[in-house]
Amino acid sequence: MKFGLICEGITDFHVLKHVIQAYFEDGQFRPIQPNLDETHRKTATDTFGGWELVAKYLKSDHLEHTLANMDYVVIQIDTDICEHINFGVTPISLADSNHQVFYENIRLKLIEWIDTFETDTYDYYKDKIIFAISVHSLECWLLAYHGTKKCKITGCDTELSAVMRKKKKSLNTVTKNVQEYIEHSRDLRRKRNHPSIIAKSLSFEKFIQQLSFIKIKGMFFFIPDFNGFAVTPFLKNFM
């Protein structure tokens, strides 16, 4: 199964890849944005990352080609910059009072960008699109696994670095050493390590729900009825 990943940066690519591998161990992963070199350790020549380039790619004519040629496309974005004029989702404080509505506002903004080049692109390809909306950063997901005892969506970068130092490990969230992020997200390749994150991160839970739905899609079980056996989709718990 081929996954195309549209992310803010290299470290995001590797963390998401590890999470997805918990459900699709043999998945093939292609970095769409930013475009990485063959080692996936650095960006290709003249290639850059960042949320604005995620937005630019979603609004471009390249997106539909990617959607047509991948089994699934993962779109990742942090929400700490949502109030920026080029993003336009306010107020960010809504995430504190109504996390669910805030998440949905971000998702609708991404859909708006997807439909920029051609109307109804999202409706046509929605079964292939997976949103990885990290509130307010992907480091919050890592922090939920490595350190924090409660839901935390701000200051995750600083606290995550501090938590790792206490464990005598290095994870510099400023320089974002790729190998450190790879090493400290490897545990996410096991589903048994996800519940502790889900309990403290609604946005991570939303990501996992989408992966779970894809995993069980197409599975059926037989329920007897008056006419013999009826085939019923085993999907209701994942809708």
d(CA 43, CA 27): 21
99-156 pLDDT, tens digit per residue, is 999 999 999 999 999 999 999 999 999 999 999 999 999 999 999 999 877 889 999 9
42-92 pLDDT, tens digit per residue, is 554 444 468 999 999 999 999 999 999 999 999 999 999 999 999 999 999
| Angle in degrees, CA 67, 71, 75, rounded to 5 | 55
Among 93, 75, 176, smallest CA distance to 136 is for 93
Q: What amino acid occupies position 54?
A: V
Could you tell me if 8 and 51 are in contact, meaning their C-beta atoms sit under 8 angstroms apart? yes
Place of tokens 């404080």: 93
| Counted domains in the chain | 1
Give residue 34's pLDDT: 86
**What b/e readout covers 155-192, taking b as 16+ CB neighbours within 10 angstroms?**
ebbebbbebbeeeeeebebeebebebbbebbeebeeee
Q: State the residue range of the domain holding 196.
A: 2-238
Give residue 181's pLDDT: 95
How is residue 164 written in tokens?
A: 């790792």
Give residue 220's pLDDT: 42
pTM: 0.87
CA dihedral sign, ordered 70, 80, 156, 50: positive
Give residue 43's pLDDT: 53
Strands 28-33 and 2-6: what pairing? parallel
β-strand partners of 224 = 229
Burial of residue 33 (number of CB atoms within 10 Å: 0-12, 13-18, 19+): buried
